[in-house]
């Protein structure tokens, strides 16, 4: 892994689930770490005190001057509107965050120079209903939601700025990321939502028949992929997943066994804009980034439950 002594890394969304894990790892590698987060979903308690925190929004013009002042060598861009359902209700706000916010960062990179921008995109929402599984990066892009469209539009801007202005980048198309610190009050983190509900003695809700399948990748493995992309993958896009499909029913049953929950889940209607089944082929990441997932689903679920048990005991 790249050592960061003397280098500055900016993490957008660094108070969030994935971003805060990345901040901790970068600090451990010796980077000076700067966090930009508007705290719309991120939490102050997630931010490592050794990082420099700026309460700001990537859609604001001020972020460009902030980057000029801090002079980061690397930008890890994780700040995003991530709710598929919200994107169908307010496509303009979704595009403002995911497209305009990314353009602000690219303009700063063009004007003031950075070594590289590493962009956290989506694999689960990009390919639509897959023609084949696991999806490779060559699979047709056919999103079913404004969220998928906005994330792909940002990818296209990255490619354009690379071509026109030599802004270096790597895109990581992540599968369904889960693990400690995931928000149990949102909609995008089924593992966190189910875990919190069962630990509190409430039945979680399974939307649809529960046979819809996802590719679940543990957060520490996603952090490894970000670090691999510092020195590799220039101008390329990579799937970051396990290649395995796991049903929502299986997630519920596995968590129920780990937690010792005795009741059934409630059922709700299938949600608009969701892909029914998908997994990601990460062979290209293995070959070019040197990245492969290291955490099994059972181990990752156990570590996630342990974290949420501690937070429930602490009353957080």
CB 54 within 8 A of CB 8: no
Cα–Cα distance for residue pair 129/83, rounded to 1 Å: 18
Pairing outcome for strands 246-247 and 213-214: antiparallel
The token duo for 251 is 């997630």
The token duo for 209 is 């028949």
Name residue, tokens 């906005």.
Answer: 150
Nearby residues of 307 by Cβ (< 8 Å), 6 or more positions away:
179, 180, 181
Active site residue 147: yes
CB 31 within 8 A of CB 8: yes
**Could you tell me which of 172, 178, 294, 159 has the C-alpha nearest to residue 239?**
172
Cα–Cα distance for residue pair 222/242, rounded to 1 Å: 11
Q: Which of 31, 119, 127, 147 is catalytic?
A: 147
Q: Which residues are catalytic?
A: 147
């Amino acid at each position: 892994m790249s050592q960061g002594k003397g280098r500055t890394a900016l993490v957008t969304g660094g108070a969030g689930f994935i971003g805060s894990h990345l901040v901790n790892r970068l600090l451990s590698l010796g980077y000076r770490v700067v966090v930009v987060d508007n705290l719309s979903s991120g939490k102050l308690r997630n931010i490592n005190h050794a990082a420099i925190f700026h309460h700001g929004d990537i859609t604001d013009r001020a972020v460009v001057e902030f980057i000029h002042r801090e002079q980061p060598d690397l930008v890890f861009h994780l700040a995003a509107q991530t709710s598929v359902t919200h994107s169908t209700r307010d496509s303009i706000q979704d595009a403002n965050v995911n497209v305009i916010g990314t353009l602000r960062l690219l303009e700063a990179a063009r004007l003031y120079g950075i070594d590289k921008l590493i962009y956290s995109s989506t694999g689960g929402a990009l390919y639509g209903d897959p023609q084949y599984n696991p999806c490779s990066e060559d699979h047709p892009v056919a999103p079913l939601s404004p969220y998928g469209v906005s994330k792909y539009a940002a990818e296209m801007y990255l490619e354009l700025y690379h071509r026109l202005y030599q802004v270096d980048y790597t895109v990581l198309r992540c599968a369904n990321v889960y693990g400690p610190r995931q928000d149990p009050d949102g909609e995008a983190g089924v593992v966190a939502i189910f875990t919190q509900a069962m630990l509190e003695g409430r039945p979680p809700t399974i939307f649809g028949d529960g046979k819809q399948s996802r590719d679940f990748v543990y957060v520490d493995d996603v952090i490894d992929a970000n670090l691999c992309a510092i020195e590799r993958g220039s101008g390329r896009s990579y799937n970051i997943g396990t290649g395995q499909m796991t049903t929502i029913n299986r997630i519920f049953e596995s968590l129920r066994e780990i937690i010792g929950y005795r009741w059934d889940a409630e059922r709700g209607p299938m949600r608009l804009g969701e892909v029914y089944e998908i997994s990601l082929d990460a062979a290209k990441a293995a070959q070019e980034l040197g990245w492969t997932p290291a955490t099994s689903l059972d181990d990752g679920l156990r570590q996630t439950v342990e974290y949420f048990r501690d937070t429930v005991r602490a009353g957080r």
